[in-house]
Amino acid sequence: MDIYICNSTILKMILKISQHKILVLLVLIITVSCSKQEKNEEGIVKINKNGIPVMQPLQEPLPLLSTAFINDKKYSISKYFEKTWSEKNDNVSFLVAKNGQIIYENYMGFANKSTEEKITKDTPLHIASVSKVLTATAILMLIDAKKIQLNQKVTTLINNFPYPDITIQTLLNHRSGMRNYAYFTYENNNWDKKKLLTNEDIIKVMVEKGISLETKTDTHFSYCNTNYAVLALIIEKSTGLKYPKAMKEMIFDTLGMTNTFVCDFEKDSHNIIPSYKGNNVEIATDYLDGIYGDKNIYSTPRDILKFDTARYARFFLNPELLKKVYQGYSYESKGLKNYGLGIRMIEFEKGEPFYFHNGWWHGNTSTLITLRKEKVTMVVLSNKFTKKTYQTKKLSSLFGDYPFKLNDGTDE
């Protein structure tokens, strides 16, 4: 009897201790789970079910703009637009925003002149080399998720890649020394112009035709579309998805960029918005229109605003990597212009750097201006060739200390 009582007491004590341990364990599990959920909500390298990093919208809204501020800037911007763009002659999508809030936007002209389809806020236009900013962002996300490394040699990722010193960083900052694929595929019958060139074909021509570097790797800046065509292949190798699908999964879908896509030329060539010369003559497509990474993203100003705003998220990238994005890498020659990791910049002697990217392909011109300090986004797209797109930088003086004169919008 005494033995039974003793055993029973011991059993109760063990159960109490076990319950306490289970409770502690549950608290720890819940704490860790909540911590992970919080980090994901704030944007720290969220990985989807396919093991791929995905970009998150900005969780904390930026400060609301006052009505007086909006009206003041809207008046100046609208006057600039009216003096710069002509409703009779221009095709343009135009947007200026601050803190993710649209101050002024305007859409005019033809998406397709033959069908008289008008450009609207939902019309995806070819954003040309502004595509590079999005390609670079996907690469940076893969680096942040430790899928690849910034200084990783491309030869470790792409079979038969013929240049042993080129790294992901020298692709991003245009210091690889490679030649432009548009030139070396055209020369010496290196490619049959009747056949659509692909990103994989670029590597094939490099190897089979023994294409040499233009300059030694990482010795100086040389803007080259080949760099970003190769980066698109690296995205494919790192995700197991074709570039159009990877970009959709990593960026477009999660940010709600519903009017944005990468052109799959063999499927989409008859449905995409055409482009025009300045005299309204439609420009035919050619064998280079299948290449993506450096170009071939179609989007709208509103969608690009969603993308640019998401890059202000506190934990979009780790601070060390983010700092590398917005610093210059080419100082061999004295000057103000430089290039970061997927972004152009002008580094003035005083004041904030001016961050932007322009684009031009066929008749399409584009600009993305992102004033980081002021959190201002400007997007201008046109499918009818004009240099007026690039004058948008003049509006920067409305928001910060930038040495661009805002005048009647007619001079260069």
93 plus 37 within the same structural domain? no
Read off the pLDDT of residues 60-83 as tens digits, 9 standing for 90 and up: 889 999 999 999 999 999 999 999
242 plus 344 within the same structural domain? yes
Give the lowest-confidence range in 31-40, 180-189, 285-294, 350-359.
Answer: 31-40
SS3 content of the chain, % helix, strand, coil (to 5): 40, 15, 45
36 plus 83 within the same structural domain? no
Q: What is the predicted pLDDT for the residue at 268? A: 84
Residue 267 has pLDDT above 90, yes or no: no
Read off the pLDDT of residues 209-227 as tens digits, 9 standing for 90 and up: 999 999 999 999 999 999 9
Structure tokens at 105: 């936007």
Q: Count CA within 13 A, CB hemisphere, residue 170.
A: 20
14 plus 119 within the same structural domain? no
Number of folded domains that form the chain: 2
240 plus 353 within the same structural domain? yes
Q: Count CA within 13 A, CB hemisphere, residue 394.
A: 20
For the entire predicted model, the pTM comes to: 0.89
25 plus 71 within the same structural domain? no
User: Is residue 321 one of the residues assigned to a domain?
Assistant: yes
Radius of gyration of the chain (CA): 26
Give the lowest-confidence range in 42-51, 105-114, 296-305.
Answer: 42-51
134 plus 29 within the same structural domain? no
Strands in 297-299's sheet, in edge-to-edge order, are 125-126, 297-299, 261-262
What range does the domain containing 16 cover?
2-42
Question: What is the percent of the chain where pLDDT is above 70?
Answer: 88
Read off the pLDDT of residues 273-282 as tens digits, 9 standing for 90 and up: 999 999 999 9
User: Is residue 122 one of the residues assigned to a domain?
Assistant: yes
User: Is residue 294 one of the residues assigned to a domain?
Assistant: yes
User: Is residue 55 one of the residues assigned to a domain?
Assistant: no
Q: What is the chain's mean pLDDT, rounded?
A: 90
14 plus 149 within the same structural domain? no
Between CA 305 and CA 309, with CA 306 as vertex, the angle to 5 degrees is 80
Question: CB neighbours (10 Å) of residue 217?
Answer: 15
Instruction: Determine contact, residues 178/214, Cβ cutoff 8 Å.
Output: yes
128 plus 32 within the same structural domain? no
User: Is residue 107 one of the residues assigned to a domain?
Assistant: yes
Q: What is the predicted pLDDT for the residue at 44? A: 62
User: Is residue 57 one of the residues assigned to a domain?
Assistant: no
169 plus 25 within the same structural domain? no
User: Is residue 73 one of the residues assigned to a domain?
Assistant: yes
CATH number of the domain where residue 210 is located: 3.40.710.10
254 plus 392 within the same structural domain? yes
91 plus 224 within the same structural domain? yes
Q: What is the predicted pLDDT for the residue at 6? A: 42
User: Is residue 93 one of the residues assigned to a domain?
Assistant: yes
Read off the pLDDT of residues 318-373 as tens digits, 9 standing for 90 and up: 999 999 999 999 999 989 999 999 999 999 998 899 999 999 999 999 999 999 99
